[in-house]
Structure 1
Amino acid sequence: MNVQQATGKLKHINLKSRLIAGGLGLLVAISIPLIGHETLARTRSKSDYEQRLFDAALGFTLYFEGGFSDHPADIGGRTYRGILQTEYNAYRASRGLPPLDVLQMSDAEMLEIYDGYWRGSGAPAMHPALAIVMFDTAVNFGIHNSITFLQQALGLPQTGVFDAETRAALAQGNNKFTALQIVNERILYRYKRVQEKPSQMAFFHGWLSRDYSLWGYVSQIQN
């Protein structure tokens, strides 16, 4: 199954919440057809719990980032599956590889890049709802800004650095409420963004669709 087929099937996302036995506690079991099973084989050092959660987060994000975009009003420029051409160039260069059109990015490369967002946002240690929201926010806004959103939700100074103060506050606020607060902040930011830069109105309804869908997606996760 290719990505285009998979993202089409994501319209029929089936969320089923249930208890998972063992010390990991609650996890939402999410049935999301994504990429071929071979590609999602356990090639990364993730537990089954974390892999399931990563797949759920990636499934949501790819539903909104799954295609190619090169809109003239988009500051990011050429983008495929949520990965900017400039970002892909940097990724290839860091591995001593020559530049390549982002449309030729392999599934393995995409997963490795997204794994950086997953870990960089601190998602592996978070409540399932917060992990999914932080990952999507990191992809949509950048890792630095995802941490800023988190700090705002926790009532902290917005430094964009995952410092000791942020970790201490997160220990108390690692829950679905914080996740939904971040989504609320994203929605407020969208309005501010188009007021400051009217050209971004071209993306406004898509942004809100993503944010409200994210709200509904994680709201179904049991506490």
Structure 2
Amino acid sequence: MFAQNKIESLQLSLKSLELYEDKIDGIIGPNTIAAIKKLEALVHEQPSIEKPISGDSAEKPDVINTLTDGQGADIEDALIFTLKNEGGYSEHPDDKGGATNKGITIGTLSTYLGRKDVSKDEVKNLSYETIKMIYKRYYWDALNLDAVQDQSIATALFDIGIVCGTGTAIGFCQEILGLPQTRKMDTATLNKINSTTDEELIPPFAERTISYFDAIVAKKLSQAVFLKGWKNRANRLLSLIDKDDFEAVVPVSVDGIIGEGLQQLAKQAGVPQADIDKMIDWQTQNKPLSNPRYWVVFKIHEHSKNKRMHIFDRVANTVQSIHAVHGTGSDPNNDGLATEFSNIPESHQSSLGLYKTLGTYTMAKHGRALRLDGLEDTNNNALKRGIVFHGVPYAGDEYVKQHGRCGRSFGCPAVEYALVQDLIDKIKGGSLLLIS
């Protein structure tokens, strides 16, 4: 569509604005697109609307003992959403904050820089990186959002934390989830957030925020002039919803005996009969009315250059064998062999055992992913750790041909991007995945 030299010129311009850090190659890849989105957010001229008066900052967050091994939310995505809600440079005589740009006042910039002589020009010429670091320090980190798995939920909490105060935003969330309102992102709150979906949480969160705005205006009628803008911002949270389900309905279930035909398919793939027996036994004892079409075995002890994940299709009577990655902690030498396994959070190790697939959600780094529920003592922290089935750029024939092995994840059984979405749709909602 565009000549390579034109794209190179664009990349050079984005680099001069400190929005792009990759190589100048004339290719519109993910990093170029991300830089364009940053630029769009910076130049988006939303009318500046005064925020509700709130000194309600979150208490200092706990040291969370259940940080996700899987990738958590990303401030970059959240900030692009939020900056489109914030006005450009303004210096309104009635604005108590004084000179303001993208929601950052001259006082906030002064505090961040540790200087009292900050000029209005410095506010006017804020760089994207400075804007990001200020929002990260005073909002993102206060909300512990690196440990939230669902990007949409993290973005919603971040945005309303900026508008209403971080403590207020967490309090809304805790109220909706039926938790004590500690107004800080403690372990119980984080675990509850990571056990729900954006579709379940964001609508009541937006409604609760709107009722908060209504209450402010009821107490102080002079604030009514801002009410429409505040409500528009809260309602915009609904655009973040991906309509994913934590517990998806099994998409493909078939008639017949549970697991019928799997043994023969397993022989074709060189998968031991004991692995298949284990899966069928669990299904028979725990979900006897469900008979999934697709079953998955990941032979993680094999070298990662091998196609060691096998997807069995009982209807088509076929086996799809593909590359899959293991955790960095399971392969400390990065030689392609997984030798260490753990169920402990922050170990970045893969966990052996049987998993049941659940529903999908959106990761910041890897897009749509599939939640996994660990069914054994060796993997029952999977949900807490954020161990999910997702796509990566470091698996597949081309990567293995170049590197002699797959790359490594933070413990997730991940596969190449080109295959992952089709597989998610096949196995979501109750299929079994065995890592052995």
TM-score class, shorter: 0.5 to 0.7
| Greater fraction helix | 1
Describe the shift of the 1:70–1:174 C-alpha distance in structure 2 as closer, same or farther (beyond 3 A): farther
How far apart, CA to CA, are the structure 2 residues paired with 1:193 and 1:68? 26
Which residue of the other structure, out of 140, 147, 153, is the alignment partner of 1:125? 147
How far apart, CA to CA, are the structure 2 residues paired with 1:145 and 1:77? 24
- Equivalent residue runs for 1:2-41 within 5 Å: 33-35=37-39
Q: Does 2:217 match 1:194?
A: yes
Q: Does 2:182 match 1:159?
A: yes
Report the equivalent of 1:60. Answer: 81
With structure 1 as the length reference, what TM-score do the two structures score?
0.67
Which residue of the other structure, out of 152, 166, 179, is the alignment partner of 2:202? 179
How far apart, CA to CA, are the structure 2 residues paired with 1:87 and 1:130? 26
Q: Does 2:129 match 1:108?
A: yes
How far apart, CA to CA, are the structure 1 residues paired with 2:35 and 2:206? 23
Farther off after superposition, 168-177 or 102-111:
168-177
Report the equivalent of 1:99. Answer: 118
Report the equivalent of 1:136. Answer: 159
Q: Which letter maps to 1:100?
A: S
Greater relative contact order (CA < 8 Å, ≥ 6 in sequence): 1
Contact 1:77 1:85 in 2 (8 A): yes
Q: Helix, strand or coil for the counterpart of 2:208? A: helix
How far apart, CA to CA, are the structure 2 residues paired with 1:175 and 1:130? 6
Describe the shift of the 1:125–1:168 C-alpha distance in structure 2 as closer, same or farther (beyond 3 A): closer
Shift of 1:197: 1.2
Describe the shift of the 1:84–1:205 C-alpha distance in structure 2 as closer, same or farther (beyond 3 A): same
- Give runs of ≥4 in structure 1 deviating > 6 Å: 29-32
- Equivalent residue runs for 1:42-81 within 5 Å: 53-71=74-92, 76-81=97-102
Contact 2:90 2:101 in 1 (8 A): yes
Q: Which letter maps to 1:153?
A: I
Shift of 1:143: 2.1
Q: Which letter maps to 1:124?
A: D
Q: Which letter maps to 1:218?
A: L
1:125-151 deviation per Cα after TM superposition (whole angstroms, max 9, x unaligned): 221221110111122122222222222
Report the equivalent of 2:193. Answer: 170
How far apart, CA to CA, are the structure 1 residues paired with 2:133 and 2:193? 26
Describe the shift of the 1:221–1:63 C-alpha distance in structure 2 as closer, same or farther (beyond 3 A): farther
1:189-215 deviation per Cα after TM superposition (whole angstroms, max 9, x unaligned): 111111111111121111111111221
Shift of 1:159: 2.6
Q: Helix, strand or coil for the counterpart of 2:228? A: helix
Identity of aligned residues (%): 29
Shift of 1:76: 4.5
Which of structures 1 and 2 has the bigger CA Rg? 2
How far apart, CA to CA, are the structure 2 residues paired with 1:155 and 1:103? 43
How far apart, CA to CA, are the structure 2 residues paired with 1:198 and 1:165? 38
Which residue of the other structure, out of 67, 81, 89, is the alignment partner of 2:110? 89
Q: Helix, strand or coil for the counterpart of 1:33? A: helix
How far apart, CA to CA, are the structure 2 residues paired with 1:54 and 1:32? 16
Structure 2, unaligned runs of 5 or more: 1-12, 15-32, 41-70, 245-360, 362-436
Describe the shift of the 1:84–1:211 C-alpha distance in structure 2 as closer, same or farther (beyond 3 A): same
With structure 2 as the length reference, what TM-score do the two structures score?
0.37
Structure 1, unaligned runs of 5 or more: 3-28, 37-48
Shift of 1:169: 3.1
Describe the shift of the 1:191–1:70 C-alpha distance in structure 2 as closer, same or farther (beyond 3 A): farther
Q: Which letter maps to 2:151?
A: P
